[in-house]
Amino acid sequence: MDLSIVILAAGQGTRMVSSLPKVLHPLCGQPLINYSLRTAASLSERLPVIVVGHEAEEVRNVVGDKARFAMQEKQLGTGHALLAAESLLKEQRGMIMVIAADMPLLTLETLKTLAETQARNSGPLSMLTMHAEDARGFGRVIRGEDKKVFAIVEEAQATPEQLAVHELNVGAYCFDADWLWDGLKRIQLSSKGEYYLTDVVGIAISDGVGVQALQVSDADEAMGINTRVHLAEAEAILRSKINHAWMLAGVSMPDPLTTYIEPDVKIGKDTIIYPNTYLRKGAQVGEGCSIGPDTIIEGSIIGNHCTILSSVIDSGAILEDDVAMGPYCHLRSGAHLGRGVHLGNFGEVKNSHLAAGVKMGHFSYIGDATIGENVNIGAGTVTCNYDGERKNPTIIEDDVFIGSDTMLVAPVKIGKGAKTGAGAVVTHDVEPNTTVVGVPARRLRKTDQGD
Ligand code: UD1
Ligand code: CA
């Protein structure tokens, strides 16, 4: 389809009462603007144009190369905002779709239908309308006796009779590019000092050309975010949609109302997600897992058949299959737990690889370590990885037994099959198959020589 998309995002969003631009407020964990950007990217291969103004730099920084930017220096209304995109798009033929950045629930299907409607329309524009009981804040769609749309009237300017109309302007339009820019320039300044984009409908009608109105059946889709109350309402709607889709894809959640899954997360079938659990920032969870309650997983990869109870996993962790952890564990960036690793309560792991079968049952800290297979880490073990200046590595080879409360003063290496006694403070490397005890730890015996 020969289509370019303009996203209006220059408004101040005064009603958010915020120093953050409205379109950067998070909805299900992602900035509002991401939703219209994602839809635009699915609709057209052309890079969308975002009209920015208020806090433009902040918006540009978040959007990056996912759009082109047009600057609206002064926010003089939606018609004026669209005109700011002219210099970027005036050579563009075909159709130009205009959506607002504060309408994250508009679906791809609806906008596709809008574009198809305009592709068949001999007139210069098609628009979305909807019916809703609570019309507050929306422009009213006025139809003539022939039932055809002939104007949109903004609430501030509507007569009592017009205010009683319940067909509302959604705020998404698709234009014939050859007509648009000239049409826009004919908009008059309103009594509120703004150029209303909605006035193009009246202009098209006065040109004697028809306007197509496509009705959206689900009013939720047309929800505009103007306040933080709207933001919370949209979040509830979106969360419910996301959770429904996952349940239909084979994921159980006993309480969807308290299960928070961001849009770009992946979850395998037969996984169960218990209440108060957040899956964020592209987290990927395998099949047959039990996650939560009270768990946060961000941008990490969880294998199949893992159990994670009341724990926090930051971005950048990897869990292979059959890992069990919690309650109250914290995995930080670079934590990599091999198959069948078991972490009990109060374990923290950062930038460390724990090979298959490692067991760490009780309150330990492992940082900057490489730990071999089937190592047992006793309660209270700490890798003392920081000497005040730099982070130092700890290496523990296969089949080592670390006694309770061992301090591993890095850099340090514990050889295969070695043991440390309870309370040992290990300041030097330990030979394989050797037992060390005490403070600082010294050799007690070498098991394979029997001394
Ligand atoms: C607009 C429509 C209204 C419709 C409603 C649907 C107009 C005049 N009115 O009203 O008919 O029912 O949306 O939600 O279009 N913006 C700019 N520059 C500006 C002003 C606004 O970029 O100078 C952007 C805003 O950032 C926002 C969008 O345009 O993304 C809509 O502006 P907003 O002020 O929210 O319009 P509404 O009052 O909601
Ligand atoms: Ca709005």
pTM over 0.85: yes
Cis bond leading into 327, ω under 30°? Answer: yes
Distance (angstroms) between ligand 1 centre and the Cα of 100 equals 7
**Which has more confidence, 133 or 362?**
362
Nearest CA to ligand 1 atom 20: 77
Cα R_g (the chain), whole angstroms: 30
pLDDT reported for residue 261 = 98
Among residues 230, 244, 362, 428, the one annotated as catalytic is 362
What is the per-residue pLDDT across 260-281, written as a single tens digit (0 to 9) for each?
999 999 999 999 999 999 999 9
Q: Is the per-residue pLDDT at 217 higher than 60?
A: yes
Closest atom of ligand 1 to CA, residue 51: 22
- Measured between alpha carbons, how far is 26 from 235 in angstroms, rounded to an integer? 9
Q: Is the per-residue pLDDT at 284 higher than 60?
A: yes
* Crossing angle of the two packed helices 32-43 and 56-63, in degrees rounded to 10: 50
DSSP three-state, residue 387: coil
Nearest CA to ligand 1 atom 12: 138
Closest atom of ligand 1 to CA, residue 154: 11
- Measured between alpha carbons, how far is 385 from 431 in angstroms, rounded to an integer? 20
Residue range 77-98: mean pLDDT, rounded:
96
Q: How confident is the model at residue 209 (pLDDT cuts 50, 70, 90)?
A: confident
Nearest CA to ligand 1 atom 14: 224
pLDDT reported for residue 346 = 98
Closest atom of ligand 1 to CA, residue 11: 26
Distance (angstroms) between ligand 1 centre and the Cα of 226 equals 10
Displacement of CA 398 from its chain's centroid (Å): 39
Beta strand residue intervals within 64-180, DSSP E: 68-71, 95-100, 125-131, 140-143, 149-153, 167-176
pLDDT reported for residue 352 = 98
What is the per-residue pLDDT across 54-69, written as a single tens digit (0 to 9) for each?
889 999 999 999 999 9
Question: Order of strands, edge to edge, in the sheet holding 318-319?
Answer: 266-267, 284-285, 301-302, 318-319, 335-337, 352-354, 369-371, 394-396, 412-414
Q: Is the per-residue pLDDT at 451 higher than 50?
A: no
Closest atom of ligand 1 to CA, residue 199: 8
Q: How confident is the model at residue 448 (pLDDT cuts 50, 70, 90)?
A: low
Closest C-alpha among 194, 139, 203, 137 to residue 175: 203
List 127's β-bridge partners, or say none: 173, 213
pLDDT reported for residue 450 = 44
Distance (angstroms) between ligand 1 centre and the Cα of 78 equals 6
Residue range 181-193: mean pLDDT, rounded:
94
Ligand closest to the CA atom of residue 171 = 1
Neighbours of ion ligand 2 (CB under 5 A): 102, 224
Nearest CA to ligand 1 atom 28: 100
Residue range 414-438: mean pLDDT, rounded:
98
Ligand closest to the CA atom of residue 82 = 1
Distance (angstroms) between ligand 2 centre and the Cα of 21 equals 14
- State yes or no: is 362 an active-site residue: yes
Residue 30 DSSP class? E
Residue range 145-154: mean pLDDT, rounded:
92
Q: Mean pLDDT in the chain? A: 95
Ligand closest to the CA atom of residue 154 = 1
Closest C-alpha among 359, 355, 322, 367 to residue 342: 359
Which amino acids bring their CB within 6 angstroms of ligand 1? Answer: 8-11, 51, 53, 72, 75-78, 80-81, 100-102, 138-139, 152, 154, 168-169, 171, 196-198, 224, 226
DSSP secondary structure letters along 344-361: EEEEEEESEEE-TT-EEE
* Most informative mutation of 78, 162, 201 for ligand 1 (most atoms within 8 A of CB): 78
Distance (angstroms) between ligand 2 centre and the Cα of 171 equals 8
Ligand closest to the CA atom of residue 55 = 1
Nearest CA to ligand 1 atom 8: 196
Residue range 38-56: mean pLDDT, rounded:
96
Closest C-alpha among 381, 379, 390 to residue 414: 381
- Measured between alpha carbons, how far is 45 from 179 in angstroms, rounded to an integer? 22
pLDDT reported for residue 447 = 60
Distance (angstroms) between ligand 1 centre and the Cα of 207 equals 24
Segment among 118-122, 278-282, 423-427 with least mean pLDDT = 118-122
Distance (angstroms) between ligand 1 centre and the Cα of 224 equals 9
pLDDT reported for residue 208 = 83
Distance (angstroms) between ligand 1 centre and the Cα of 22 equals 12
Ligand closest to the CA atom of residue 9 = 1
Q: How confident is the model at residue 446 (pLDDT cuts 50, 70, 90)?
A: low
What is the per-residue pLDDT across 356-414, written as a single tens digit (0 to 9) for each?
999 999 999 999 999 999 999 999 999 999 999 999 999 999 999 999 999 999 999 99
pLDDT reported for residue 210 = 81
Nearest CA to ligand 1 atom 22: 10
Closest atom of ligand 1 to CA, residue 224: 14
Closest atom of ligand 1 to CA, residue 170: 6
